[in-house]
Structure formats: C-alpha cells, structure tokens
C-alpha cells in the first residue's frame, strides 16, 4: 500500500465557505472537474418539482468507471483498493484496483445475463464480505439501482423493502457471523419472499463455508450460486447514465410504518464523495480509510465503498465487532497493520471499547503514527468519551453530524481545511456548502445559544437525497413543509457565539415537564459525565401531575456493575445539580444493554413504550430480541400512575 509522508496542507475554511455561499453553482462546478464525465456538465443545477435541485442535469457519467477503471487506466491498477479483514473468520485478503475491476466486471456481466439493466433494482442482503462491495459496484457499472439491506434483518422488514424496491434480482449469502454464533440468511429470505407481494426474477447466493444452506427448503424462485454465475459470465462494460439517474436506494433506520427509501443520484454523489474525502477527511489517492461500519448504513455506502474508491484510496472492509472479535484492541490492530490514516466509527463503538479496556491497555506498544484522525458520528458523542479517546491516543477526535438523507457530513471539524479547537459536545462547524440555521417554533432563527430545530437552507449541495423512492409527497411532508425554504433535519440543536454547532438529539425526544421543555440529549449529557456510566438514554414517560417526567436507563461501566443502587443515587444528584430540580428523574434503571438500530442509534421510542406499558416496537435486528426481553423484565415499575 502507498502511504503519504504527511497530509496535504489545509485550505482556509472561511474562504471555502465564502465561495460556496456566494456562488454554489460555480463552487460545485469546480469540484466536478475531479470527476471523469462522458458528457461534461454545462449547467450546475436545475430546480425540480419536489422542492430540491438536480445537480449537473445535462451531464452523463458512470460511477463504477470513476471508482475503478479510471485508476487502472491511469496506471494505478496494482494499488490496493480493498482490504478485507474478517475478525470473525481470521481471513484477510487484499484486492488491487485491477483485481477488483475484474471481479466487478464479471459480476456486472452475471447480472446482465439475468436481465438486469439500467434503472432496474437489485436488492443486496449480504454480510460484510467482499461480494457485497462487488455487487454494489456491479450495479453501478450497469446503471442499475442497488438497495442494500442489513444482513440478518428480520423477514417482515425485509419483505417490506422487497415490495417497496421491487428488485429483479436479490443477492444474498448463506449467512453472517456474529460473536459466538452464526446467522443463517436463507430462512429469513425465504420467509420474506413468502410474505412479500413482489417476486424477484432471480436469487443469487454466496456460499459461505461456515454456514451451510438449510436442507429441505421450499424454493419457488430461480436460485443461482455466486461463484458459478461469475465464472460463466462475460465481463460487462460501463453503461453511461445521466448524472440525475438514481445510484441507490437506502432505507433509513426505523421500527414501524412503510419503509422510507432515500434515493441518491450518480453525478452529485460522485462529486460530493470525492470532495469530502479531500477537504473533510484529508484523504488523497494512496491513503487508507477504515470505516468501521456496515454497508447497510449510509457510512458504509459513502465511506466504505464509494468515496475511498472514487479518490483512489484503500478502503478497509471489516467483518467483526469493536469488542469480542477477539477483544477491544481489534480496531487498533487493524490501524497498525494496515497503516490506516482515518478511522470512521460510531460513539457506541468507542464506548464499548472503553468499557472493556478503560485504561487502554490494549493500545500500549501500538504504532499508530499513520492515524491522522478519528471521526465519530451516528449518535451523540458524549464529552467524556471524546476526552478519554483524546487522552489514550494522539490523533484528533472529531465529532461530526450527518444523516442518511444528507449522504455526507453537514457539521464537522476538518483535516483538509482549517482545523478548529474542539469543544466538548459540539460537532464544530458547518461543512462548506451547507448553511445551518437554528429555527424556533415561529419559523424564525433563534438567538445565539438558544435551542431550536436544526434546519438546512435550500438549495442543498450535491450528494444530498434526491427523493423518497416511490413517494414524492413524503419528501415534502417529512422534510420540507415544516420550515419553507429549509430542509428539516428532525434534530434539535444550538449554535454558540463562535459558530460551533451542538446537536442535542431528535426533536421528538423533547419532553414537556410541568410546562418546561427539555431535551433528552441535555439530560443525557449530564448523566454521561458520571465515570460509572458507559451508555445512557433518557425518555419522557407519562406523569399524571407533570405531563412527563424524564426517566434514565443506564448501562454501567464494568467496575460499577455491582454498585447499581449507589450509581442510581449519584445520577439523580448529578442531574439535579447540573440542570436543576425541574429535571428530577422519575427513575433510574441500570441495565445490561440498550436496544439499538444496526447503525448504533439507541431506539428511545422502544424504551418509552416499555415504560408506558405499551407493546414495544422492537428494532428489527436479532440482537435486540433478548435485549428488549431483559428490559421488559427490568422496567416493571411504571414511574407514576394516575390515582384510582
């Protein structure tokens, strides 16, 4: 692998913001020059009927060509494109750009042989294995639209996504690997296909030696083996597509209702991915990126697959967990052995590592000199975890905020622009191209330091969502109607006197306690300062007198597991001291784990339902079934009930 001696010198942040805000069209047209176009863009953007804009509407390109072929054509075919590290199996492989191109071309030819063409959908239901990346890029090569669903997702949720995307082909595997167990996928897929109304034309199965296909399946759809299909396929070339054509559908995390398929285009996405690699992450060709996420989440799409390869960097595909495969030092091991320059992961992962190795003993003696930055997103980064991580290793710890809908960071610190002094709890500054406003209930900007709805001024930069798949009205209703002229993020936050942005959590997690509005994030930030707290969630529970009362559910650090009564009392005192008597907790429950989406977000609605005595909507991952069962047993006492 190539390794640069030093990062490129940063560009002045303020000048970049001025350029982007003064003339967004000219700014992003300049950025578009880094992409190989078939038909060069003549117009930067055009307004569309759904309230957003189409970027580079008259241009054509192929995303897979930009991610693979052009690097091979430029003589960089032997550079490592993909490093596969399976902590679950002990296997490791490296694929050069030339090797990955050969595999992707064969996979595209195989899909073409099954009738897949431009605009057709392919649903990918795979674990974190190279075939997942290959299948995504093969779709992009053909101009097809991939819809990746987390491997191991429940059959009902999978069925709803099959019916929504209506794929002509499904690519899956015999199963995935979790610490101490296997997860067979084929029974889940079979059940989903029986439940779904839509029938795909073909199912392609990657055979994993660790998990055999079940015997006696009742299959009513054509099924093919991945290896056999590719070996017989004729390599396929790149299909030109419009910059505005969809590249993928990605369903957002959720527990109920019709799935919400976020659509990303080809042209704007390619421009944003390559621009963000350079200026947000400080990554250039030959650098190494380790996004410790899942391809079923937006981080996996953006920063495991597309952005590193568009840039000509090496991307690490990791199959494992931050702890337990084999221990809490596995991330550090990957960074050291592969010379990783940037790590992207979730705060949840770092809290798990800290809980298992609070003194960072597994970091002792590691050579981490290549690491330039750790970027944490996906959930609120508590100041205590940020401080700890900054103390145990030397690279900057960057709290950044973005969403599935945005596709790339909206607020961050920067390794390719001016680097700002971090502030605990802040995601730092808006990324150039995004204008962030904090709006009040009257739809006007609030005063500096005041809390409100985090909104993004229209038009939005390239790489943003372009539509909700098959539901145009839902885009406007969900994101655009509440604050005309803005995209509504659904998060609450504030901006301080230095322009630093603080994200406080979902606006639907705001509680009304005796007429006082408080965010769960505000209380969680106070609780997280206790050294005995590993993770916490605060939800508003119905209260007969006050309307709602905040209730804390806490996962303790290992050394506090046997001190739950003491911990509960100290947390109550801490909240009263930091926020005031009005925030008096209705209860503190110490538990072993919290229910989460596959992206690591705590599902507070599930906790609220349990505490209110309702049937909980269990987040659709296998791990959450036992977690929620344990929570129901633990949270047996409702904090307050109306008098009889």
Supply the pLDDT for residue 3: 38
Question: What six digits make up the tokens of 161?
Answer: 């996504």
Domain range annotation of the chain: 514-634
pLDDT tens track for 64-83: 999 999 999 999 999 999 99
State how far the Cα of 377 lies from the Cα of 371, in Å rounded to an integer: 18
Give me the chain's average pLDDT, please.
89
User: Taking 80 as the threshold, does the pLDDT of residue 581 lie above it?
Assistant: no
User: Helix, strand or coil for residue 542?
Assistant: strand
Contact criterion met (CB below 8 Å) for 620 and 152: no
pLDDT of residue 597: 67
Contacts with 45 (C-beta within 8 Å, 6 or more apart), sequence order? 24, 25, 28, 53, 54, 55, 56, 57, 459
What confidence score (pLDDT) does residue 51 get?
A: 86
Please give the average per-residue pLDDT across 413-421, as a whole number. 95
Confidence of residue 635 (pLDDT cuts 50, 70, 90): confident
End-to-end CA distance of the chain: 71
Q: Strand, coil or helix: what is 190?
A: helix
417 vs 9: CA distance, rounded Å = 8
Cis before 421 (ω within 30):
no
CATH of domain 514-634: 3.30.300.30
With 60 as the cut, is the pLDDT of residue 516 above it? no
pLDDT given at position 232 = 96
Residue 406: strand, helix, or coil: coil
Across the range 239-250, mean pLDDT stands at 98
Note the pLDDT of residue 582.
Answer: 61
Count Cα neighbours of 408 within 13 Å in the Cβ-side half-sphere: 30
Q: Higher pLDDT residue, 528 or 500?
A: 500
Q: What is the Rg, in whole angstroms, of the alpha carbon atoms belonging to the chain?
A: 24
Note the pLDDT of residue 605. 74
pLDDT at 612: 76
pLDDT of 4 over the 60 cut? no
Give a three-class secondary structure readout of 591-635: CCCCCECCCCCECHHHHHHHHCCCCCCCCCCHHHHHHHHHHHHHC
- For residue 460, give the DSSP letter: P
Can you tell me the mean pLDDT for 571-599? 77
pTM of the model as a whole: 0.84
| Lowest mean pLDDT, pick from 24-38, 293-307, 595-609 | 595-609
Could you read off the pLDDT of 112-146 as tens digits, one per residue?
Answer: 999 999 999 999 999 999 999 999 999 999 999 99
Residue 418 DSSP code: P
Residue 555 has pLDDT above 80, yes or no: yes
290/394 Cα distance (integer angstroms): 17
Q: What is the pLDDT of residues 452-468, one digit of tens each?
A: 999 999 999 999 999 99
């Amino acid at each position: 692998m190539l390794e640069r001696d030093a990062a490129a010198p940063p560009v002045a942040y303020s000048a970049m913001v001025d350029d982007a805000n003064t003339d967004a069209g000219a700014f992003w047209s300049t950025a578009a020059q880094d992409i190989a176009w078939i038909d060069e863009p003549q117009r930067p953007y055009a307004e569309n009927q759904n309230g957003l804009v189409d970027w580079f509407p008259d241009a054509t390109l192929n995303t897979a060509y930009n991610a693979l072929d052009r690097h091979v054509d430029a003589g960089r075919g032997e550079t490592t494109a993909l490093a596969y590290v399976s902590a679950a199996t002990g296997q490791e492989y490296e694929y050069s750009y030339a090797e990955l191109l050969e595999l992707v071309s064969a996979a595209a030819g195989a899909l073409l042989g099954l009738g897949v063409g431009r605009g057709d959908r392919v649903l990918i239901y795979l674990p974190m294995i190279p075939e997942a990346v290959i299948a995504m890029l093969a779709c992009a090569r053909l101009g097809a639209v991939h819809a990746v669903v987390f491997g191991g997702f429940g059959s009902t949720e999978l069925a709803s996504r099959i019916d929504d995307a209506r794929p002509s082909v499904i690519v899956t595997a015999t199963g995935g690997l979790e610490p101490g167990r296997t997860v067979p996928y084929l029974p889940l897929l079979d059940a989903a296909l029986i439940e779904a109304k839509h029938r795909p034309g073909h199912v392609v199965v990657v055979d994993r030696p660790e998990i055999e296909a079940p015997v006696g399946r009742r299959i009513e759809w054509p099924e093919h083996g991945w290896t056999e299909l590719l070996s017989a396929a004729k390599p396929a070339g790149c299909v030109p597509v419009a910059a505005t054509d969809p590249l993928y559908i990605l369903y957002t995390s959720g527990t109920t209702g019709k799935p919400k398929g976020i659509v990303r285009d080809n042209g704007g996405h390619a421009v944003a991915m390559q621009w963000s690699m350079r200026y947000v992450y400080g990554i250039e060709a030959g650098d190494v990126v380790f996004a410790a996420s899942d391809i079923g989440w937006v981080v996996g799409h953006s920063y495991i697959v597309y952005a590193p390869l568009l840039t000509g960097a090496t991307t690490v595909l990791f199959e494992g967990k931050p702890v337990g495969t084999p221990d809490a030092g596995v991330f550090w091991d990957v960074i050291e052995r592969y010379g990783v320059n940037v790590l992207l992961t979730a705060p949840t992962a770092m809290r798990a590592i800290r809980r298992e190795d609070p003194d960072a003993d597994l970091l002792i003696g590691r050579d981490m000199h290549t690491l330039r930055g750790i970027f944490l997103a996906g959930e609120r980064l508590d100041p205590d975890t940020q401080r700890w991580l900054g103390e145990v290793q030397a690279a900057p710890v960057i709290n950044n905020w973005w969403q599935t809908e945005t596709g790339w960071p909206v607020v961050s610190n920067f390794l390719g622009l001016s680097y700002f002094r971090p502030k605990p709890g802040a995601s730092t500054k808006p990324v150039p191209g995004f204008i962030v406003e904090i709006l009040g209930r009257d739809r006007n900007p609030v005063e500096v330091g005041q809390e409100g709805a985090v909104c993004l001024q229209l038009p939005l930069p390239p790489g943003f969502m372009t539509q909700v798949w098959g539901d145009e009205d839902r885009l406007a209703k969900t994101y655009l109607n509440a604050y005309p002229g803005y995209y509504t993020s659904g998060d609450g936050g504030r901006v301080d006197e230095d322009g630093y942005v603080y994200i406080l959590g979902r606006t639907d997690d705001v509680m009304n306690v005796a007429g006082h509005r408080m965010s769960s994030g505000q209380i969680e930030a106070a609780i997280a300062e206790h050294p005995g707290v590993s993770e916490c969630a605060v939800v508003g529970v119905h209260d007969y007198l006050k309307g709602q009362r905040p209730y804390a559910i806490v996962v303790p650090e290992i050394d506090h597991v046997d001190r739950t009564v003491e911990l509960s009392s100290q947390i109550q005192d801490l909240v009263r001291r930091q926020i005031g008597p009005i925030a008096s907790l209705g209860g503190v429950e110490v538990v072993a784990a919290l229910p989460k989406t596959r992206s690591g977000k705590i599902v507070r609605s599930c906790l609220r339902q349990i505490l209110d005595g309702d049937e909980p909507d269990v987040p659709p991952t296998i791990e959450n079934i036992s977690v929620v069962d344990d929570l129901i047993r633990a949270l047996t006492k409702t904090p307050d009930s109306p008098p009889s």
